[in-house]
Amino acid sequence: MRIFIVFFLFVCIHLQAQTIEVCSSCSVKTIKEGIALAQDVDTIVIKKGIYKEHKLIILKSIHIIGNGNPIIDGENKESIFKIKANNFSIENLTIKNVGLSYTKDFAGISVLDSKHFTIKNNILKNVFFGILIEKARYGTIENNKIASHATDEFSSGNGIHLWHSKQMKIISNEVNGLRDGIYLEFVEHSIIHDNKSHNNIRYGMHFMFSHYDEYYRNEFRENGAGVAVMFSNHVIMHDNIFHFNWGTASYGLLLKEIYDAEIVDNDFDQNTVGINIENCSRIKYQHNKFIKNGWAIKFSGGCYDNVFKANNFLENSFDLSYNSSLNNNKFEGNYWSDYNGYDLNKDGIRDVPYRPVKLFSYIVNRTPETIILLRSLFIDILNFSEKVSPVFTPDDLVDNSPKMTLIDD
């Protein structure tokens, strides 16, 4: 009986919902007027046209849908949509020309203290912040295209910015030309997948104090650095592509003080540094590919209980850089393209253990200017002498079971 009553009330509510059309020839000519007229569960259909409006405040559970690619032009004045409501959606709009401020976070779509909402299939152009979410839960941000033309970190915001939020989904978005493509701070139990983040000034994606999250099948290309994960734990990172993130301080993936994480089945291709690791422990690195990076992996101390297993290291200038003691980190069963070993018993494992840290890598860590000697015959001789009789490189940093052939996923 109780279920029937709930169902009856649900049907009654939706039967009462109305659709409000907004266009130049409609009875409702502005979005602001449509919002004022709408009640909970109503739908506002914005028809084709250019609407020069900003500071559109929504405090109701309504749905805003574009029909015919309507353009909302904020004229560089302020935020365009500001929403504090549950069960709303914004779809199929082009939103452009958000105001710039050094003291306020103006955004194309700003959401505060909301639950169960969808922001989908929108185009945002020339924005300060694109989509700004604060104190939200159960929201979905899907298939939006966000682009701007940021020139420095101080006068630009982030494409998709989440703060103090949980159970969020960020799916199939494309972000470029912002400070950070995707930024998460104090965000938990959320997933980020199938996004493309490229040509952003600082990071393609940036985690701060965010735990129990998962990101996969994303592409991070030609950013200041690919992804930074800082002060976080229980983050799962798999099946992502980090490539062409070049620069004097650029990385495919930057890890700083993270714990109990998984980094599996990712491709790190042609980055200055594939993964830069600082004070990180209990992380599983498995089935990753490191291809033609400057450094595949750089350690910066304070790392414990990390396991590198069944990864492929292919044609990197340096496979590994380590400037502290190995502690109890392990390298097991990886493939190293620079190692020309043999396998007499045909078990697929090279018969002689491999030491992946070259003496020249050790030297470059201390004197970066020596990198200009990288391809010289002198360096080949230097590395060979250290390989025969190790003095400077860590004695215990060794892969005892290097694979003979490439490791399949």
Locate the domains of the chain by residue range: 48-388
Task: Quote the CA–CA distance of 354 and 403 in Å, as a whole number.
Answer: 10
Predicted pLDDT of residue 331: 92
What average pLDDT does range 161-190 have in this prediction? 98
Helix, strand, coil share (%) of the chain residues, nearest 5? 10, 40, 45
Please say if the pLDDT value at position 324 is more than 80.
no
Predicted pLDDT of residue 353: 85
Selected residue with higher pLDDT from 4 and 364 = 364
Predicted pLDDT of residue 107: 97
Residues 6 or more apart from 307 whose CB is under 8 A from it? 283, 284, 285, 286, 329, 330, 332
Please say if the pLDDT value at position 400 is more than 50.
yes
Note whether 198 and 219 are within 8 A (CB).
yes
Note whether 206 and 178 are within 8 A (CB).
no
pLDDT band at 11 (very low <50, low <70, confident <90, very high): very low
Condensed to tens digits (0 to 9), the pLDDT of residues 329-350 reads 899 999 999 887 787 777 778 8
Selected residue with higher pLDDT from 368 and 155 = 155
Please say if the pLDDT value at position 374 is more than 70.
no
Predicted pLDDT of residue 363: 61
pLDDT band at 6 (very low <50, low <70, confident <90, very high): very low
**Which CATH number is associated with domain 48-388?**
2.160.20.10
How are beta strands 180-188 and 169-171 bridged, if at all? unpaired
Minimum mean pLDDT among 10-14, 71-75, 180-184, 313-317: which range? Answer: 10-14
Facing residues of 312 across strands? 289, 335
User: Coil, strand or helix: which one is 327?
Assistant: coil
What average pLDDT does range 176-189 have in this prediction? 98
Predicted pLDDT of residue 361: 61
| Whether the predicted model's global pTM rises above the 0.85 cut | yes
Cα angle 103, 104, 109 (rounded to 5 degrees) comes to: 160
Task: Quote the CA–CA distance of 4 and 6 in Å, as a whole number.
Answer: 5
Selected residue with higher pLDDT from 164 and 324 = 164
pLDDT band at 371 (very low <50, low <70, confident <90, very high): low
- Rounded (10°) angle between helices 359-366 and 377-388: 110
Predicted pLDDT of residue 366: 62
Residues 6 or more apart from 55 whose CB is under 8 A from it? 77, 78, 79, 80, 82
